[in-house]
Amino acid sequence: DIQMTQSPSSLSASVEDRVTITCRASQSITRYLNWYQQRPGKAPKLLIYDASSLQSGVPSRFSGSGSGTDFTLTISSLQPEDFATYYCQQSYSTPFTFGPGTKVDIK
Amino acid sequence: QVQLVESGGGVVQPGGSLRLSCAASGFTFSSYAMHWVRQAPGQGLEWVATIRFDGSNKFFADSVKGRFTISRDNSKSTLYLQLKSLRPADTAVYYCAKDGLGGMATMDHWGQGTLVTVSS
C-alpha cells in the first residue's frame, strides 16, 4: 500500500499569509495527487486534482505542484474561510490513501 | 447542481448489519464511478470502497473487505453500502462521493455524511 505523509501536522497563520503544506508518498504516484479542504463539521471539498489542476469554482489563491513522491499545496494569501484541515490523497492505485491532514488555524 | 444525500446511519451493536444509501441528483449517475469514504470521530479520512460506473468492478479497503459490499442502482441513481459484522472501529461518519476528472479516485462532490455508531 502507498503511505501518505503530510507536514506540518498543524500550523498557525494570519490572514494574508502565504501558506505551504507538503505531502509525500511512499512510492511514485506520478501526478495522481489530490488536495481536499475540510472545515469543521463539513464534508471535504476538492481543491486540486492531478497535482496541479484547480477544481472548478476554487479560488486561484490555491495552487498545487509536484510529481513522483513530493507534492505541495500553496495558499498564496490566506483568507478567513481558509482556516480548515487539508488532506492529500493519492488516486494512483488502491487503496486510495489519504494523508493524516494538516490543520490550519488562526495565529 | 450535483447533490448527494446519504441515509441509513444509526446505532448498531457489534456484529450487526446496516445498509447505507446515497441518493444522487444533478448529474448522469450512470456515467460515473462512486466512492465511500469514512471518518472516525476526531480522525482523518479513510477510503472505504469504489464502484465503477456500470458496477463491473468494485474495490475495497482491507479493513472492510469481506464485511462490506458496495452496489448501485443506476435506474434509481442510488449508491449503497452494505455493512456486516460491524465492529466498534467501524464507528464513523460515512460519506459518499462522486468521481471526477483526473485519476481513478478524484472525488469532486461529497454528501453531508451519515453517522454509524457501533456500540453495545
Task: Assign A82 to helix, strand or coil.
Answer: helix
What is the distance of C-alpha A39 from the center of its chain?
A: 13
Q: What radius of gyration do chain B's Cα atoms show?
A: 13
Query: What letter would DSSP give residue A57?
Result: T
Residue B5 pLDDT greater than 90, yes or no: yes
Taking only the tens place, the pLDDT of each residue in B6-58 is 999 999 999 999 999 999 999 999 999 999 999 999 999 999 999 999 999 99
Give residue A83's pLDDT. Answer: 93
Give residue B103's pLDDT. Answer: 73
List the Cα angle A23/B63/B36 in 5-degree steps: 70
Put simply, the chain B residues between 11 and 40 with a CB less than 8 A from any chain A CB are 35, 37
Beta bridge partners of A90: A33
CA–CA dist A69, A83 (Å, integer)? 26
Q: Are A49 and B101 inside 8 Å of each other by CB? A: yes
Put simply, the chain B residues between 73 and 92 with a CB less than 8 A from any chain A CB are none
Q: Is some CB atom of chain B closer than 8 A to the CB atom of A57?
A: no
Give residue A78's pLDDT. Answer: 97
Q: Which triple of cell numbers denotes residue A38?
A: 475540510
Please provide the distance, in angstroms rounded to a whole number, between the alpha carbons at the two ends of chain B. Answer: 40
- Which residue, A34, A24, A20, A32, is CA-closest to A4? A24
Count of CB atoms situated within 10 Å of the CB of A58: 16
Q: Whose grid coordinates read 462522486?
A: B98
CA–CA dist B34, B31 (Å, integer)? 10
Pairing of strands A10-13, B107-110: unpaired
Q: Considering only CB atoms, which chain A residues are within 8 Å of B61?
A: 95
What type of residue is B5?
V
Put simply, the chain A residues between 6 and 45 with a CB less than 8 A from any chain B CB are 32, 34, 36, 38, 43-45
Q: Considering only CB atoms, which chain B residues are within 8 Å of A32?
A: 102-104
Most B CBs within 10 Å, among A38, A89, A96, to test the B interface: A96
Task: Assign A8 to helix, strand or coil.
Answer: coil
Taking only the tens place, the pLDDT of each residue in B68-109 is 999 999 999 999 999 999 999 999 999 999 999 877 899 999
Give residue B102's pLDDT. Answer: 73
Burial label for A34, CB within 10 Å (0-12, 13-18, 19+), is buried
Whether A102 and A20 have beta carbons less than 8 Å apart is answered as no
Give residue B16's pLDDT. Answer: 98
H-helix or E-strand spanning residue B12: strand B10-12
What tens-digit pLDDT sequence spans chain A (107 residues)?
A: 999 999 999 999 999 999 999 999 999 999 999 999 999 999 999 999 999 999 999 999 999 999 999 999 999 999 999 999 999 999 999 999 999 999 999 88
Q: Are B103 and A95 inside 8 Å of each other by CB? A: no
CA dihedral (A40, A46, A52, A53) positive or negative: negative
